[in-house]
Structures are given as structure tokens and as C-alpha cells.
Amino acid sequence: MWMLVIRVLSFILGLYINYVTFLSIIEVLVVPRAIKNDLFMNWAWFINSLFNLRIRLLKNPTYEQKDQILVFGSPLVMVSASFMWLILIMIGYAFLYYGLGVGTFWESFKTSGSQLLTLGSVSLDVSIPLVLLMFSEAMVGMVTVAVIIAYLPTIYAAFSQREHLVTKLEVSAGNPPSSDTLLIRIFRINSGANNSDEIRANLHQFWIDWEDWFSSINESHTSLLALAFFRSPKPHHSWVTAAGVVLDAAALMNAVVDLPHDGQADLCIRAGYVALRDISASIGLPFNPSPSANDPISITREEFNQVCDLLEQGNIPLKQDREQAWQLFHGLRVNYDQPLIQLARIFFAPPAKWVTDRQLPHTGNTPS
């Protein structure tokens, strides 16, 4: 009697393990939508915690040392998650076999392993339900491996698309990048223009390109959640710092620079903070979805004035009312300040002005 109860409970447990595993595979690799799968997220945080522990064991590590360790983190998460899913399937089917009466649990486990890896054969004297279960496991193993293999080209195609503008940004924003360097170089390059219309036209197209980029990473970094953790090919490049620099440049352009207002810069800012908020929500980072224009930001008035002075030294025409310019900039930055600083901390972003060099205004945490 007790053995029958144990067999039934074993079968139910096997069904549950396989359900959780299949759901994780489908949500992470198949469904094109931002779904936070707890099994995959917990596994990713576990693997990343090992890398963070390795960093903590170093004495006063430099950013380059951190990056050299972390660059392996995301690829290892994906590879190890593949093994994790297959092992869970094997364990789940082992409980199913045991529930259907296959000898001891060790014998059930060996049967499950041989079927999942298509190493064994079916005995002629087993029951029809057991035969069907063995066939299903063999098919599940092959389909799972096929889905994982098909997933990798997809994620690396999105990675390559993301990195195109990130790499290109170094030409105009410097390394490490900054918003003031970006604007000064753009104005300097176009200094030979006959009038401000040519400068505005070039900047207008710049904001269009980055609005498209923000929309692209919003889609790819939420539906392909692991992609957000993939580090750039160059140690001092990062999609997070690139986002922050471009958003600050657009905010400064409309708040400080004395040229006719460009609505495309506003669209770029909106696309940017929507993307950062959606990615933050996908990985479980808290943020204020409706910040007030009076909420504190991580940029001080003194820092703002220093950047304005740099822009003025770069022969960029500035608005006369510095107080109003600060209020406009403050009202724009508050929309993306919190998610930007938190993402930079979570992803160990490289040094960048106004991104990785400051504290969160609400929590007081300092990005690492």
C-alpha cells in the first residue's frame, strides 16, 4: 500500500518537474515576449553570483580585471542553462518511470538518462505506457537541443545589431564617452556649415538613428533577456553607457543649446527611458514609473553648470537663462535617471560620465 502511494507521488512529482522545465524552455527560448521566468532568472543570478564572488576575492580590482572575469558570465549562463534544463528533464522522467514501476529509482534514473541521450533501446517486455514515455523523452531531448541550437544565432544577430551604434558612438563621444564631448564634436565637425539648419539636420538624423536603436533594444533585451547581460566586444564599450550618453546629449540639446527645438530629440529621449524602464522591469529592478519633475536626480546643479561651461567653450550657442535650462534638463533626466544608474550597477558598466560615477538619488547605492 505504501509503495503504491510512493509510486503515485513520484509520478506526480515527475510531472511537476517536467512542467516547470518545459515552461522555462518555452518562455526563455520560444515565446517572443518579455516573460520573467523564475527558474531561468534564479539560475542566471546563481551563475553571476559566482563571478561576483570571484571579483570580491580580488584586492582592489580594476575595471579591466572585472570585465575580464564578467565577459564569460552571460555565455556561461546560456550554456549551463542548457545542461540544467536537460538534467531536470532527466530527473523528471526518472520520477515518471519510477511511478510506472521501473525497479528502483536508480534503475529509473539510468533508463531516463539513456532515453534522453538516445543511447538505449526499448525492451520488448515493457508496458505500452512505459514505451510511450520512453519515446516521448527521446523526442523531448532532441527537440530541446534543437531549440537551444536555433536560439544562439538569434541572440548573436541581435547582439551584433546592438553593438553597431555602440561601437560607432566612440567616434563622436570619445572613450570613455560623455554627452558634452558628443555635442562638441558634432558641432565642430559641422562648423563649416553655412547655417544652423545643416547642423540641425545632421542632429535630427542622429536622434532618429538612436530612437530606432532604443526601440530595437527594448524589443530584443526583453524578449531575449540573456542578451542584456552580454558584454560588448571592447572592454570600455557598453550598451548601458551608450544609452546614458545619448539620452543626456538629447536632454542637453533641447534644454541648453540655443537652436530651434527639435521634437525628434524628445522622441529619442522617450524611446530611451521607455526602453530602460522595460528592461529594468524584465530583470526585476524597482523604479518609479511616474517620476515628478521635482524628484531628485543624480546630477547636481554644479555638475550641470560645469558641462554648460564646456559646451560654451566649444563654441556651442547656449540659452541665456541658465536656471530655466537647468529646470528643463532636470525634468528630462528624471525620467531615466534611476533605471539608468541601476542598470549600470547591475551590469558592471565601464566608466562613463554621469552614468557610472554617481549614486542613486533615492537609495544612496553606488554603482560598482
HEC profile for 22-75? HHHHHHHHHCCCCCCCHHHHHHHHHHHHHHHHHHHCCCCCCHHHHHHHHCCHHH
Domain extents in the chain? 2-149, 174-346
What confidence category does residue 225 fall into, taking pLDDT thresholds of 50, 70 and 90?
Answer: confident
**Least confident window among 17-26, 132-141, 327-336:** 132-141
Cα 108 to Cα 132: distance, rounded to the nearest angstrom: 15
Cα 33 to Cα 63: distance, rounded to the nearest angstrom: 33
Span 164-191, pLDDT tens digits: 999 999 999 999 999 999 999 988 887 6
Mean pLDDT of 290-304: 92
What confidence category does residue 263 fall into, taking pLDDT thresholds of 50, 70 and 90?
Answer: very high
Angle CA 55–283–83, to nearest 5: 70
> By C-alpha distance, which of 350, 351, 299 is closest to 325?
299
pLDDT at 365 over 60: no
Mean pLDDT of 18-46: 87
Residues in the chain: 368
Cα 326 to Cα 252: distance, rounded to the nearest angstrom: 9
Which pTM value belongs to this model?
0.84
Percent of the residues in the chain that have a pLDDT greater than 90, as a whole number: 50
pLDDT at 120 over 70: no
Mean pLDDT of 259-277: 95
Mean pLDDT of 300-319: 93
Which is higher by pLDDT, 17 or 121? 17
pLDDT at 121: 56
What confidence category does residue 123 fall into, taking pLDDT thresholds of 50, 70 and 90?
Answer: low
Beta bridge partners of 257: 318
pLDDT at 363: 43
pLDDT at 149 over 90: no
Span 130-141, pLDDT tens digits: 777 777 877 887
Tell me if 148 sits within 8 A of 82, measured CB to CB.
yes
